[in-house]
């Protein structure tokens, strides 16, 4: 699996040396304690490939645009849509699209880890179907306790790669909990979810993938701590309610 554009490598050293060592971010994550998604129940789910290697998730938000995490940026991509298994030949109705343009948020990493989103323009619009469909981005910010669904092809708790797309339900954490856990890097462009006693979680292997709350796209998998699925340790998601204007204007201008 290609390790693409992840922010954890250099940031780990900063955290360990510059703060207390209690926070550590690495690229080891995966869907924890989830289950196989119902086939094509997440028709907006995208897979980003670099030279046939899957490396990040994404979300179809417009027939010609995919949203993903800015730290997943590459100079070129193939975007898989309509996939349950990552092998396109096993997925009738899947579409493999080339990207023509990638636009990271202009304030990504200012400050560190903040504003972690980018838009990827496809060379042509996809054909919408039962297996490929875009989803709207929320306009309202998340409410603590909301039940949400996150999906991805990151490694399982066993360390194995899943055969098919994984889904897990997690709850939005309060801003106070998020600040308490990630205070040195917390920013309003982020929110937290998960961290329950059921140890359900997502992490780096699912970067850029969708967190769906109340039928809309609420967040993108951004980062988390070294060991995923720890009780009382939520993961961090890009807070998309803060970026609706940027997403709309960028799509319209490009």
Which residues are tagged catalytic?
71, 116, 207
Give the chain's count of helices (H) and strands (E): 3, 13
Q: Are 43 and 130 in contact (CB under 8 A)?
A: yes
Chain Cα centroid distance, residue 45: 10
- Decide: residue 79, CB within 10 A, 0-12 exposed, 13-18 middle, 19+ buried: buried
Q: Is the peptide bond before 225 cis (omega within 30 degrees of 0)?
A: no
Q: Are 116 and 222 in contact (CB under 8 A)?
A: yes
Q: Enumerate the β-bridge partners of residue 239.
A: 219
């Amino acid at each position: 699996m290609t390790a693409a554009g992840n922010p954890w490598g250099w940031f780990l050293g900063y955290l360990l040396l510059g703060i207390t060592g209690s926070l550590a971010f690495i690229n080891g994550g995966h869907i924890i304690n989830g289950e196989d998604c119902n086939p094509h129940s997440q028709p907006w789910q995208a897979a980003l490939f670099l030279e046939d290697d899957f490396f990040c998730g994404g979300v179809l938000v417009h027939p010609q645009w995919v949203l993903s995490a800015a730290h997943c940026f590459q100079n070129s991509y193939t975007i898989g849509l309509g996939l349950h298994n990552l092998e396109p030949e096993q997925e009738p109705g899947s579409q493999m699209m080339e990207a023509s343009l990638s636009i990271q948020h202009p304030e990504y990493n200012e400050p560190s880890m903040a504003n972690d989103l980018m838009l990827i323009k496809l060379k042509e619009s996809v054909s919408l179907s039962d297996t490929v469909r875009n989803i709207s981005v929320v306009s309202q910010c998340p409410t603590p306790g909301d039940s949400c669904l996150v999906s991805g092809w990151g490694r399982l708790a066993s360390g194995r790669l899943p055969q098919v797309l994984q889904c897990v339900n997690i709850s939005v954490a309060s801003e106070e909990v998020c600040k308490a856990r990630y205070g040195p890097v917390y920013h309003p462009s982020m929110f937290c979810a998960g961290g329950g006693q059921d140890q359900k979680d997502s992490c780096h292997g699912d970067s850029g993938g969708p967190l769906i709350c109340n039928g809309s796209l609420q967040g993108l998998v951004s980062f988390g701590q070294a060991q995923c699925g720890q009780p009382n340790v939520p993961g961090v998601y890009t807070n998309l309610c803060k970026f609706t204007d940027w997403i709309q204007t960028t799509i319209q201008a490009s």
